[in-house]
Amino acid sequence: MKVIFIKKLFAFAVSVCIVFCSTINQVKAQQPSGRIGFSLKVQADGFFNPKVTKVIVDLVEPESQAQKAGMVIGDELIKVEDIEVPGTDASVLKPHMKFVSGKPKKLVLRRPNGHTYEATLVKP
């Protein structure tokens, strides 16, 4: 019983670090003007090949692209480009979470009330 719990806890920590840490580094690296300006909280399940179950916006910086695109804390990330977020392997999703300077990236998000919308963001 303890071994299963430890494995699940470790899998969660690894998957959160895989997706979330790279996203945090990318967001922090933005220049003050024109920055993307958001961070995400990642939930995942699995040990060796964790699958992302949910990704929630947990920070939107004032005057950022994210705020101007309508993103708010609590929104759920549904798609990155054409990749469905829930149910996708963390290792598959990770490269799609990186922003390349000058290249637009389309995100589909869902509000807690169920309304979905698109936000296109570009790293300066």
CATH code at position 31: 2.30.42.10
- The two tokens of residue 91 are 């290792």
120 sits in which H/E element: strand 116-122
Closest CA to 26 of 35, 15, 34: 35
User: Average pLDDT, whole number, for the chain?
Assistant: 82
Which pLDDT value is given to residue 107? 97
Is the pLDDT assigned to residue 21 strictly greater than 80? no
- The two tokens of residue 72 are 């708010």
Give the model's confidence band at 47: pLDDT under 50 very low, under 70 low, under 90 confident, else very high. Answer: confident
Instruction: Name the residue with higher pLDDT: 38 or 19.
Output: 38
Model pTM? 0.71
Instruction: Name the residue with higher pLDDT: 104 or 35.
Output: 104
- Work out how many domains the chain is built from and give that number: 1
Domain, as residue range, for 45: 2-122
The secondary structure of 41-93 as a DSSP string is EEEEE-SSS-EEEEEEEEEE-TTSHHHHTT--TTPEEEEETTEESTT-BHHHH
Which pLDDT value is given to residue 11? 53
